[in-house]
Structure 1
Amino acid sequence: MPKSTRNRGTGRVGRRGRGTALGAVETITRPSQTLPVIIALCIWRWRWELLTLATIAYVTAAHGNQIVGFFTDTVPVWFTVVLIILAAGWLLVDNPARRFARNRVWCVITRHRVRACLTEMRTRNWSGNLPFIIGCFATKTGQVVWLWMRPGLSAEDLDNKSETLASACWARSAVIARHKRNAALVRIDIDRRDPLSKKHIVSPLLNDTSDMPEAAVADDAVLAFITPDPVLDESTRQPPAKSGTSGETRTKTTRTKTTAAVNDSQTVILGANGEDVSDYV
């Protein structure tokens, strides 16, 4: 018998019961960039880390011996210990320097996390380029990230991705908004904290009743001003007087409905013209 031309590997079930599907292939396009462009983008992406390392290297190489000699030969040991404790306490206490350092660290972390999230979500154009991260800035509730959408991308590519971005940035929530004038600019607000959660807000509207006991403030002060006006009875209303040509005042007379009792079980209601309107009432 002739051998079968069917591939034995197609549809074969492995030892663990998995099917080897060979038809599903994921293609990821990588951008074609030159070496100078890649180096420039890496320097821009890691600029704060490179700046910190360059500062530490410069201080260590230029002034390292002087600093070590000052703390070992000039000042006593107790002064060094006190100086380290004061420096650590100053960094732990809430002050402008600590807030600046904390905000910069979170901005660097948020920028890297947003780029990693965009990479994992495959937010790329057909050339394989990601949205360009212009910068990350600190706010009172967290950070804000500005994106420049490359050709082929728009704010619609980030629809329903706010929870994914918030999870990637370790934040409470994320809000994605497009710029009003330029569709290529997209703003991502990363909310990490609520500034009003630990503050007690006192309303100035309660100054008159804040010191009074609760029993004395039984009635709502607002409801006292929004109660409806009393409805006047139609019999007490008087139509406005009209003046005629001769200066005499004429009063408009209104016809009232009259009722006549026929018997104890039925009441006849007569209209203005004397018609029986009992069936319509």
Structure 2
Amino acid sequence: MPKSTRKRSSGRVSGRRGRGSATSAVETITRPSQSLPVVILLSVWRWRWELIVLALVAYIVIAHGAAVSGYFESNPLWLNALLIIVLSGWIFTDNLVRRFARNRIWCVITRHRVRACLTEMRTLNWSGNLPFIVGCFSTRTGQVIWLFMRPGLSAEDLENKAETLASACWARTAVITRSTRNAALVRIDIDRRDPLSKQHIVSPLLNDTSDMPEAAVAEDAVMAFLGPEPASEGTTDQPPAKSGSGETRTRTAKTKTTAAVNDGNTVVLGVNGEDVSDYV
């Protein structure tokens, strides 16, 4: 009896130890202990653009909703349809207001996506705080985001994370750079479009071959077009020298000279195309 009780108790202890070792492998994330006013202020800052839009819509509906509905009811149907068509055309055409609204919408989306990506990548300090997003601004190729790294975080925590951020933001590429003045400031450039992709640049240096098909322009033709112009060949022959009774002919080597002007300097080329200006 005592032996059996000891075996059972030892099995229970080993089972508890096994369960304890299994729970120790679970990752735990600490949450920052912030007061309620701080949480409210951070939430208002994070959702400020959404709150502004909701406030404007509520103001228009409450203050001017009756006037707008009365105006459309007093107008005939064709005039209301014409106003809707004009308003839709103004929204979908390229203008300053449309560009501003589109850029701000993408900035808001990018800021939320970057914050969600930082949360999923566990870019947190030991207190559980994420990097503070200072702001998101629009550029010609996309958006740029400025991060203020909390104590315990640095730009090294974002190394090799550019592709992950680009995938999270639905962008082409992402470039992460650290500020040279302050190590706590990190810049993330989100590139969504290439401004030169729709522009066809024609070089004036290829006027003779720009209209030709690519198959007709061979490498030899391009090199011949870019090579120097052929110059006249000069030959120098000396008469044979006579000495005493015997005649000895001395034939000088023929030297082909080609002169090409380059930046005001004369270059003399030999038979093999070597520069022999220093020997002439």
The aligned residue for residue 230 of structure 1 is: 269
Shift in Å at residue 168 of structure 1?
0.7
Paired residue for 2:181?
A: 181
Q: CA deviation at 1:27?
A: 1.5
Instruction: Quote the residue 2:10 is aligned against.
Output: 5
Q: When the two structures are aligned, how many residues end up with a matched partner?
A: 230
Q: 1:65 to 1:186 in 2, by over 3 A?
A: same
1:6 CA drift (Å): 2.5
What is the deviation of 1:83? 1.0
Q: 1:122-150, CA deviations, whole angstroms, 9 ceiling, x for partnerless residues? A: 11111111111010011111110000111
Letter in 1 for 2:33: S
- Alignment of 1:51 onto 2:55: no
Q: What is the TM-score with the length of structure 2 in the denominator?
A: 0.73
Q: Which runs of 5+ in 2 are unaligned?
A: 230-259
The question of 1:122 aligning with 2:91 is answered no
Q: Is the deviation greater in 81-90 or in 144-153?
A: 81-90
| Alpha-carbon distance between aligned partners in 1 of 2:173 and 2:161, rounded to the nearest angstrom | 11
Q: Which residue identity does 2:36 align to in structure 1?
A: L
Structure 1: 5+ residue stretches without partners: 13-19, 241-281
| Identity rate, percent | 64
Q: Is the 8 A contact 1:131 1:147 kept in 2?
A: yes
Q: How far apart, in 2, do the equivalents of 1:237 and 1:87 lie?
A: 74
User: How far 1:209 moved relative to its partner?
Assistant: 5.8
Q: 1:57 to 1:158 in 2, by over 3 A?
A: same
1:137-192, Cα deviation, whole Å (9 max, x unpaired): 11111110000111111100000000110111111111100111111110001011
| Corresponding residue of 1:15 | none
**TM-score normalised by the chain length of structure 1:** 0.73
Paired with 2:127 and 2:222, the residues of 1 have a C-alpha distance of 69
Q: 1:86/1:41 Cα in 2 relative to 1: closer, same or farther (>3 Å)?
A: same
Measured against aligned partners, the alpha-carbon deviations of 1:46-85 in whole angstroms (never above 9, x if no partner) come to: 0000000000001110011000000002x11111111111
Within 1, Cα distance between the matches of 2:190 and 2:41?
27
Q: Distance in 2 between matches of 1:148 and 1:92?
A: 36
Q: Alpha carbons of 1:68 and 1:207: their partners in 2 closer, same or farther (altered >3 Å)?
A: same
Match of 1:197 in 2: 197
State yes or no: 1:160 paired with 2:163. Answer: no
Distance 1:26 1:238 in 2: 76
> How many Å separate the matches in 1 of 2:277 and 2:130?
77
Indicate how the Cα distance of structure 1 residues 238 and 11 shifts in structure 2: closer, same or farther if over 3 A, else same: closer
Question: Residue 253 of structure 1 corresponds to which residue in structure 2?
Answer: none
**CA–CA separation in structure 1 for the residues paired with 2:125 and 2:24:** 24
RMSD across aligned C-alpha pairs, in angstroms? 3.2
SS of alignment partner, residue 186 of structure 1: strand
2:64 counterpart of 1:63 = yes
Alignment of 1:1-281 (within 5 A): 1-2=4-5, 3-7=8-12, 8=15, 21-73=22-74, 75-207=75-207, 210=210, 218-220=221-223, 221-224=225-228, 230-231=269-270
Amino acid at match of 1:106: W
